[in-house]
């Protein structure tokens, strides 16, 4: 491992994590997904090829919340002892900033996915500037966010987006103790630090939809709800949660619907919600726009 390897800290936070323990699958899932995503970005950005490879080592485990430190660098794929030092030095200079570019792109991807709140961009415009092209991304509210081309290009790569989903996946697992995951690093440009909370985790999941059903019914327990935005999640099984958003409820029924959703979350009682549902290519419901809410008590009548 090169001495100039970028140190990246991944921090898991949650009420039970200060004991210094974490579920092995939650830990392994995030660390492995981070490595796979970083390598995919490195290939997309032509930072590695047949002569170089991306190397990521686990440096330390630190109790507190729960943190692990990774060392990431680009190094020759095959070490050749007879290779001239001048050539090796040239390679080192060429790849020294590669890990910083990778972590910068991951940071930008998490930021824009959180900003889009799980929706797809409405539009994007490429802007040519003296320091290089950038992309201005627009959401359906008309707001915009400008990102570098590395972030914009990788935002359209399904393997990268799937990797981001796997990084935050431990927070989606029912019963998980992880409340947030942070990625931190000190680069030549300054400190990179991006935290994804349990509520923000669904925003990182790419919404690949192939069909919608206008009058779909779900029964489950509300696991998260933000009254201000009308968005949340409903657990329909031990490991499956569906993102929901209130949309189209009659004004006279709105307050009652809000009350039923909050009671389901606080008391862990089932509710039935219906509305327009979106499905991915596997036929799995990903999101429902709620138009009606009925408590469990009414269902038993």
Q: What is the pLDDT of residues 259-277, one digit of tens each?
A: 999 999 999 999 999 988 8
Q: What is the pLDDT of residues 149-186, one digit of tens each?
A: 899 889 888 889 889 999 998 888 777 778 899 999 99
Mean confidence (pLDDT) of the chain = 81
Q: Where are the domains of the chain?
A: 6-113+154-204, 211-299
**pLDDT score of 66:** 64
- Rounded mean pLDDT, 16-29: 77
**pLDDT score of 89:** 36
Cα separation, 217 vs 213, in Å, equals 10
Residue closest to 284 by CA, chosen among 209, 204, 223, 199: 209
**pLDDT score of 92:** 39
**pLDDT score of 132:** 77
Rounded to 5 degrees, what angle do the CA atoms 276, 171, 28 make?
A: 130
Q: H or E stretch including 76?
A: strand 66-76
The residue that leads in pLDDT, 21 or 49, is: 49
Cβ-proximal residues to 150 (8 Å cutoff; 6+ apart), any chain: 41, 45, 101, 104, 105, 108
Residue identified by tokens 């797809």 is: 120
Range with lowest mean pLDDT among 82-91, 121-130, 207-216: 82-91
Range with lowest mean pLDDT among 33-37, 161-165, 237-241, 269-273: 237-241
Task: State the virtual CA torsion across 132, 138, 143, 146 in degrees, nearest 10.
Answer: -20
Grouping H, G, I as helix, E, B as strand and the rest as coil, residue 220 is: strand
CATH match for 211-299 among 3.10.580.10, 3.30.70.250, 2.40.50.140, 3.30.565.10:
2.40.50.140
For residue 91, name the pLDDT band (cuts at 50, 70, 90). very low
- Rounded mean pLDDT, 23-48: 89
Cα separation, 21 vs 66, in Å, equals 7
Say how many C-beta atoms besides its own lie within 10 A of residue 93's C-beta.
9
Cβ-in-10-Å burial (0-12, 13-18, 19+) of 131 comes to exposed
**pLDDT score of 124:** 83
For residue 62, name the pLDDT band (cuts at 50, 70, 90). low
Cα separation, 222 vs 233, in Å, equals 6
């Amino acid at each position: 491992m090169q001495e100039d390897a970028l140190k990246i800290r991944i921090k898991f936070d949650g009420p039970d994590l200060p004991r210094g323990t974490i579920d092995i699958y939650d830990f392994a899932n995030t660390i492995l997904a981070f490595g796979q995503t970083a390598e995919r970005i490195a290939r997309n950005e032509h930072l590695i090829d047949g002569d170089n490879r991306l190397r990521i080592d686990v440096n330390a485990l630190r109790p507190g919340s729960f943190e692990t430190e990774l060392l990431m660098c680009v190094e020759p794929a095959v070490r050749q002892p007879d290779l001239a030092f001048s050539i090796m030095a040239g390679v080192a200079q060429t790849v020294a900033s590669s890990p910083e570019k990778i972590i910068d792109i991951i940071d930008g991807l998490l930021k824009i996915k959180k900003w889009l709140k799980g929706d797809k961009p409405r539009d994007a415009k490429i802007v040519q500037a003296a320091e290089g092209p950038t992309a201005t991304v627009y959401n359906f509210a008309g707001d915009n966010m400008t990102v570098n081309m590395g972030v914009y290009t990788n935002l359209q790569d399904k393997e990268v987006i799937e990797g981001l989903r796997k990084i935050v996946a431990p927070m989606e697992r029912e019963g998980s103790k992880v409340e947030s995951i942070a990625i931190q690093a000190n680069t030549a440009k300054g400190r990179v630090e991006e935290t994804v909370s349990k509520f923000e985790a669904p925003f990182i999941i790419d919404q690949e939809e192939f069909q919608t059903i206008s009058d779909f019914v779900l029964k489950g327990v509300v696991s998260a709800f933000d009254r201000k935005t009308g968005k949340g999640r409903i657990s329909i099984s031990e490991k499956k949660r569906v993102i929901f958003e209130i949309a189209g409820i009659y004004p006279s029924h709105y307050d009652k619907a809000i009350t039923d959703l909050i009671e389901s979350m606080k008391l862990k009682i089932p509710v039935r919600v219906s509305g327009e549902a979106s499905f991915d290519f596997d036929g799995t419901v990903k999101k429902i726009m709620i138009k009606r809410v009925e408590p469990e008590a009414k269902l038993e009548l």
